[in-house]
């Protein structure tokens, strides 16, 4: 299974774990499994915290590049964006627990969570520009989360940033050594959420997310149209994906 789900004893916590060989690549199957799991978890009235993490040493290397080929992307991208909106609708606090690399579509999923807890060796990046494309959800979510000026370098250069830099930007709430990260999340939950009413948290998260949700729902369709109806009809977008799959240097024509 590309996603495993577990609950603690009183079902106040749900842990979603991405499980895919070679970096927890996010495939269409993964997206659909996450959406189904979120729909099921939302029926639990005791849920206070839902976490999303990756199996092994990395959160996720990002979306499946083969599925971004022109003949597949029109079906795959809307599902990914529906998952982003699903995460913004979860009736509980959501947190991404990040170890190692958190790239591309993986970073977009983390950005759709309320909180990010990460190890000191974690890195976050949106490398899509190196493939001749851009991250639609990331281009919407990251500026809304930390501001346009801080977001532009990540989106335009594709370079990854270290965890402490993202913490300074206000994106990361808890930073810990990798071996202590799980315990740090437990301590945060016990200190801040365990004693609170699940129904109160459900309403508080809905209220606190309302501005972000409304802006994402207004802006993400435009980013999706720009990607599918304009960018994917250019030579360079098709060339970037093809070059990656063929393991060669892309030959840009700027058209």
Does domain 3-192 fall under CATH 3.90.226.10? My reply is yes
Distance from C-alpha of 141 to C-alpha of 242, rounded to nearest angstrom: 27
Distance from C-alpha of 76 to C-alpha of 79, rounded to nearest angstrom: 5
- List the chain residues with pLDDT less than 50: none
Tell me, what's the pLDDT at 129?
98
- Looking at the DSSP assignment, which residues form a beta bridge with residue 161? 124
Tell me, what's the pLDDT at 22?
87
User: What angle separates helix 70-89 from helix 198-225, to the nearest 10 degrees?
Assistant: 150
What tens digit of pLDDT does each residue of 34-77 get?
Answer: 999 999 999 999 999 999 999 999 999 999 999 999 999 999 99
Cβ neighbors of 81 (< 8 A, separation 6 or more) are 136, 137, 220, 224
Residue labelled with tokens 């301590």: 187
DSSP strand pairing (123-125 vs 101-103):
parallel
Structural domain boundaries in the chain: 3-192
Name the DSSP class of 104: T
Tell me, what's the pLDDT at 233?
97
Distance from C-alpha of 62 to C-alpha of 59, rounded to nearest angstrom: 9
- Looking at the DSSP assignment, which residues form a beta bridge with residue 26? 63
Tell me, what's the pLDDT at 1?
86
């Amino acid at each position: 299974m590309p996603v495993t789900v577990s609950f603690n004893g009183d079902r106040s916590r749900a842990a979603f774990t991405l499980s895919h060989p070679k970096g927890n690549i996010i495939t269409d199957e993964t997206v659909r499994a996450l959406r189904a799991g979120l729909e099921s978890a939302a029926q639990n009235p005791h849920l206070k915290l839902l976490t999303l993490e990756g199996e092994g040493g990395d959160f996720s290397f990002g979306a499946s590049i083969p599925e971004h080929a022109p003949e597949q992307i029109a079906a795959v991208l809307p599902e990914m964006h529906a998952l982003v909106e699903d995460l913004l609708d979860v009736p509980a606090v959501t947190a991404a627990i990040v170890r190692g690399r958190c790239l591309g579509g993986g970073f977009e999923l983390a950005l759709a969570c309320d909180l990010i807890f990460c190890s000191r060796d974690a890195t976050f990046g949106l490398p899509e520009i190196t493939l001749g494309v851009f991250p639609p959800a990331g281009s919407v979510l990251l500026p809304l989360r930390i501001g346009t000026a801080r977001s532009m370098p990540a989106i335009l250069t594709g370079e990854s940033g270290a965890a402490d830099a993202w913490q300074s930007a206000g994106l990361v709430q808890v930073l810990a050594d990798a071996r202590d990260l799980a315990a740090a999340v437990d301590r945060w939950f016990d200190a801040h959420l365990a004693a609170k009413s699940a129904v109160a948290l459900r309403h508080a998260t809905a209220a606190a997310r309302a501005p972000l949700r409304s802006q994402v729902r207004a802006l993400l369709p435009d980013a999706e149209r720009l990607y599918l109806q304009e960018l994917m009809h250019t030579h360079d977008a098709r060339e970037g994906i093809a070059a990656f799959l063929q393991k060669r240097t892309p030959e840009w024509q700027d058209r």
